Structure 1
Amino acid sequence: MTTFRTALAPAALLGAAALVLTGCSAGSTDAGSDTDRQDRSADGDRVVLTYDGGLLTLDRDLRVVSDDQIEGFTRVNPAGDGRHVLVTVPAGFRVLDTAAEPALTDAVFPADTGGHAVVHGDTTALFADGSGDVTVFEHDELDGDTLPDVETTTSEAPHHGVAIQLEDGTLLTTIGTEESRSGVRALDADGTETARSEECPGVHGEGAVRDEVAVFGCTDGALVYRDGAFSKIDAPTAYGRTGNLFTTATSSVAVGDYNDDPDSEGYLLDQVAMIDAESGEYRVVDMPEGVGFTFRDLARGPSDEAVVLGSDGALHAFDTETGAALDTIDVIAAWEGPAEWQDAHPALKVVGDVAYVTDPATKRVHAVDLTSGEVVASSDTLPGVPNEIAVA
C-alpha cells in the first residue's frame, strides 16, 4: 500500500484521443473568467442529467441551460462543493462546472475505470476500479479548470471498490480482487493500516451515520466501523444483500436496498433495509404489494425518513425508526424494471426538502416538495431520455 500527495496540473486534462467531445451551451453568453462565473454562481440547485450521447444541466426551474455532447454511457456524481459535478469518462472523472453559465471543463481526475465518488465532510474520495487507486481531495479547493492537491492510496488489488474518508483523516477502503470482495480496511492519516475486517462478502455501498460511524453493505448484513474498530450486524436471512446505502449525519440508521434471494432475476427489489448502527437492529421493510424499485430509487428525506420511488410512479416515505409507512405522493406513471442496470429508468435524488424524479417515458424531470407533497416544477420535454442524475 502506498499513499502519496500530488498536485494535478490543469491538464491532467483530457486529450482528443481520450474522448471525442463537442460542447454547446443553450442560452449562454460569454462566460468570462472562472472568477466571474464564481461570482455569478447559480441561484439554487443545478440538476445534471445524462442521456444517450449527451449531458444536460438544468436550473432550479428545470430549464435546460447547457447541453454537452459526450460519448458512451456516462455516470455523474456531485463533487461535494455544491457547484461541480464529476462525470465519468475513459480518462477518469471529468469536472463539470454548474455555475451560472455551466461549462464541461477540461480538468480530469485521472482514473483507470472510474467508479464510486463518495462525499463526506470536507473531502471527496474517488475509486478507480481498474487500478484500485483511491484519490482524495478537499472539494472546496476545486475551482473550475484548476484541480486541487490530491492524496492517492493504492489498494492491495484492483477491484470494484469504494472508499470514504472520515473527518479525523481515517480512510476506509474496500478489500477485494477482480473476482470477489471481502471487507474493508482502515488507514490513518499517514497511510498506516490500523484495522481491517474481511467479514463483509460482496462489500458494496457505504455511508457515515451519526457520530461519524461508517456502514458498509454486505451480502449477509452490514459492516460497521466505530471508534477504530469493525463490527458486524447480521442480516435477518442467511443471504441478505444490501448493495447501496443512504445515510445522514443526524440519524444512526443506514437505509439500503435488500435482496434475500440470490437467484432473483431482474433489477426490481421490493424490500428496504434499515440498519441501526447504534442499536445493532437490522429491520427489513416491505414495499406495498406489487411495487418495486431499483438502486436509483432510494434517498433520505428532510426528517431523515427513507424515500423510495416505486414502480407505481409514487414516492413512498417510511419512518426509519419504526419502519412505518408515512406519506405517498403520486408523481409519474407506473413503470417496469430495466433489462440492464445501465438502461434508462426512473431515478430519484433528494436535496433538502425537494425530491427530483426523472421520467424517461416522457423525457421529463419533476421537482417534488416533500413537505407539501406537491410537484412544484416540471421540465419541458428534454433533448434526450434522462438516465443518470446528480444535483449540485
Structure 2
Amino acid sequence: MHTRKHHRLGSLAAMAAVTLLASGCATSSPASTVPAAGSGPASAPAEAHGRIAISHPGGISVLDGQTLKVAGTFGSEEFTRLNAAGDGRHVLVTTTAGFQLLDTVQPELTDLVVPARAAGHVVRHAGNTVLFDDGTGTTTILETADLAAADGAVPAARTYTAPSPHHGVSIVLADGTLLTTIGDTSSRSGAAALHAHGDYWDKSAENNQCPGIHGEGTAAGEAVVFGCEDGALLFHDGAFEKFTAPDAYGRMGNAYASGDSPIVVGDYKNDPDAEGYLLNAVVLIDTEKHSYTVVELPETVNYTFRDVARGPDGLAYILSTNGSIHVLDPRDGKIVNEFPVIAPWNGPAEWQDAHPALAVNGTTAYVTEPATNTVHAVDLATGKVTASEKLDVTPNEIAVTLGRY
C-alpha cells in the first residue's frame, strides 16, 4: 500500500517576484558586466561550442568555448558554486540568496533568483531542472525550456518539501517520478520515490539503507545511482537496490554518469580518517549486470570530486595531480590513455579551495589551472591542448553550456 505524503503540489507564484541578489546578502557586490577588451555581447546566439562559466573570488567570468577569450566578468560573492541549467545557455549560480541565473549568451548575470535558504544541488534530466534547498528541504521543479525563455521572472514551478531540511538532492524521471533523499540536519539515510496524484505526492518506494546519501547520476535506461557511506543505492524500474562496499567504510560521494552507458563511475574513499581530499580509487556500478566493483587506480592517478567527467563513448576522464587527464574505460576499469595538460599540483586543504577542475562538452575537455590563472581546452580525440587563456583572476569552479539555444 502506498504511503501518502500529505503535501500539496506547490507553485512558485508566491515567490515569483524577482529577488535581487544585492538585497539578499550583505556580502555580495552589485552584479556588473565588464566586457573583455574589444568584445561585446555574443554576436552569434547559436555557438555550437557553447560557453564556459568560471567562478573566482568575488566574481564570475564567462569565456567563449572555442577561443577561451573572456566575454564578460561579473561581481558576485566571495565563493559561489556553478551548475549548468541544462538549456544550453544558462548557468545557475548558488549564492546566499538562492539560485541566480547567469546568461552566458548575452552575457549577463541576471537579477532572476529562485530564493533558497541554502542553495544546493542542481540536477538536469528529462526536460526538467531540479533545485534542492538544503535549508528548507524544498525541491523546486522547473521545466528547462521555461528557463531558456526566462525574461526576468521566475518561471512557474512545482515544489515538494521534505519532512526535514538536509543536504539533499532530487531528480525527476521521464514518467514524472520524483526521487528525493531522506534525512535531517544531523544525518541522511536513503531515498524515496514519489508520484504526483492531483494536489498531493504519494510515496511508491523507499530505502533507508544508504547512510550519508550524497550525489546522483543517471545511466542508460534511467537507472539512477546515489552514493552511500557503505556502498551505493540504485533505483530502476520502480524499485531500489542497495550495493554494499567491500570495506566497512566505503564512501561514494559523487556519481559520474552518461546516458549512453549503463555503468556509473563513482569516487571512492575507504578511510574516514584520511587527511585531505585526494582519492586514488573509483567504483564502477554496472546497472545492467547489477554489479559493484572497486578499482584501485595507478599511484600516479590522484584526484578530487572536481576532476572526473564522462565523455565520448562513455569513457571517464580523470584529471590527476600529475597534471594529466587519464582516460578510463568503465567496462573494465583500465586506464587506456593519458593526456598531459598542466603542471603537477597538490590537493586542496579545504574542498572549497581553488584547485584544478575538469569539465567536458562533446569532444572537448576544459581544465582550470589555478596556479597559473589559466584555462585550457583539450581535444579528447587527440589529447592535444587546442587553446589556453590566462585570466586576471584565479579560477575555481567551472560549468559549461552546450551551445544549443
Q: Is 1:346 paired with 2:351?
A: no
Question: Residue type of the partner of 2:397?
Answer: E
Partners in 2 of 1:42 and 1:9 — Cα distance? 33
Partners in 2 of 1:121 and 1:127 — Cα distance? 17
Query: 2:166 — aligned with what?
Result: 159
Query: 1:388 — aligned with what?
Result: 397
SS in 1 for 2:196: coil
Query: 1:367 — aligned with what?
Result: 377
Cα deviations by residue, 1:179-211 (Å, 9 ceiling, x for unpaired): 110000010133211111001011001111111
Partners in 1 of 2:109 and 2:30 — Cα distance? 10
Give the deviation of 1:383 after TM superposition.
1.8
Query: 2:118 — aligned with what?
Result: 113
Partners in 2 of 1:38 and 1:225 — Cα distance? 43
Give the deviation of 1:146 after TM superposition.
3.5
Distance 1:158 1:382, change over 3 A: same
Question: Residue type of the partner of 1:188?
Answer: H
Q: Is 1:358 paired with 2:363?
A: no
Partners in 1 of 2:61 and 2:80 — Cα distance? 12
Partners in 1 of 2:222 and 2:48 — Cα distance? 31
CA contact 2:312–2:362 (8 Å) conserved in 1: yes
Distance 1:367 1:15, change over 3 A: closer
**Which of 71, 79, 102 lines up with 2:85 in the alignment?**
79
Calculate percent identity across the aligned residue pairs.
Answer: 49
Q: Is 1:66 paired with 2:75?
A: no
Larger displacement relative to structure 2 (317-326 or 4-13) = 4-13
Partners in 2 of 1:258 and 1:30 — Cα distance? 44
Distance 1:56 1:230, change over 3 A: same
Query: 2:136 — aligned with what?
Result: 131
Number of equivalences: 385
Partners in 2 of 1:38 and 1:203 — Cα distance? 44
Query: 2:263 — aligned with what?
Result: 253
Distance 1:199 1:382, change over 3 A: same
SS in 2 for 1:242: coil
Query: 1:40 — aligned with what?
Result: 45
Partners in 1 of 2:385 and 2:160 — Cα distance? 44
Task: Please report the TM-score for the alignment, with normalisation by the length of structure 1.
Answer: 0.94
Distance 1:273 1:193, change over 3 A: same
Partners in 2 of 1:274 and 1:313 — Cα distance? 23
Give structure 1 stretches of 5+ with no counterpart.
32-36
Query: 2:193 — aligned with what?
Result: 186
Partners in 1 of 2:186 and 2:171 — Cα distance? 22
Partners in 1 of 2:203 and 2:192 — Cα distance? 7
Give the deviation of 1:8 after TM superposition.
6.9
Q: CA RMSD in A?
A: 1.7
Question: Residue type of the partner of 2:319?
Answer: L
Question: Residue type of the partner of 1:24?
Answer: T
Give the deviation of 1:21 after TM superposition.
1.8
**Which of 174, 177, 180 lines up with 1:170 in the alignment?**
177
SS in 2 for 1:116: strand
Question: Residue type of the partner of 1:213?
Answer: A
Q: Is 1:224 paired with 2:224?
A: no
1:227-376 aligned at under 5 Å gives the runs: 227-376=237-386
Partners in 2 of 1:29 and 1:307 — Cα distance? 33
CA contact 1:118–1:163 (8 Å) conserved in 2: yes
Query: 1:92 — aligned with what?
Result: 98
Task: Flag the structure with more relative contact order, 1 or 2, with Cα contacts below 8 A and sequence separation at least 6.
Answer: 2
Q: Is 1:205 paired with 2:210?
A: no
Partners in 2 of 1:235 and 1:305 — Cα distance? 23
SS in 2 for 1:188: strand
Query: 2:23 — aligned with what?
Result: 17
CA contact 1:141–1:147 (8 Å) conserved in 2: no
Task: Please report the TM-score for the alignment, with normalisation by the length of structure 2.
Answer: 0.91
Query: 1:34 — aligned with what?
Result: none
Cα deviations by residue, 1:23-52 (Å, 9 ceiling, x for unpaired): 123148886xxxxx8973545220000000
Distance 1:300 1:40, change over 3 A: closer
Partners in 2 of 1:350 and 1:159 — Cα distance? 30
Partners in 2 of 1:54 and 1:192 — Cα distance? 42
Question: Residue type of the partner of 1:198?
Answer: N
SS in 1 for 2:347: coil
Query: 1:147 — aligned with what?
Result: 154
Question: Residue type of the partner of 1:130?
Answer: G
Cα deviations by residue, 1:77-118 (Å, 9 ceiling, x for unpaired): 00010010000111100000111x300000011111001001
CA contact 1:236–1:282 (8 Å) conserved in 2: no
Question: Residue type of the partner of 1:298?
Answer: V
Give the deviation of 1:301 after TM superposition.
1.6
Partners in 1 of 2:297 and 2:251 — Cα distance? 17
SS in 2 for 1:185: strand
Give the deviation of 1:22 after TM superposition.
3.2
SS in 2 for 1:17: helix
Partners in 1 of 2:128 and 2:14 — Cα distance? 16
Distance 1:30 1:356, change over 3 A: closer
SS in 2 for 1:24: coil
CA contact 1:97–1:103 (8 Å) conserved in 2: yes
Give the deviation of 1:150 after TM superposition.
0.7
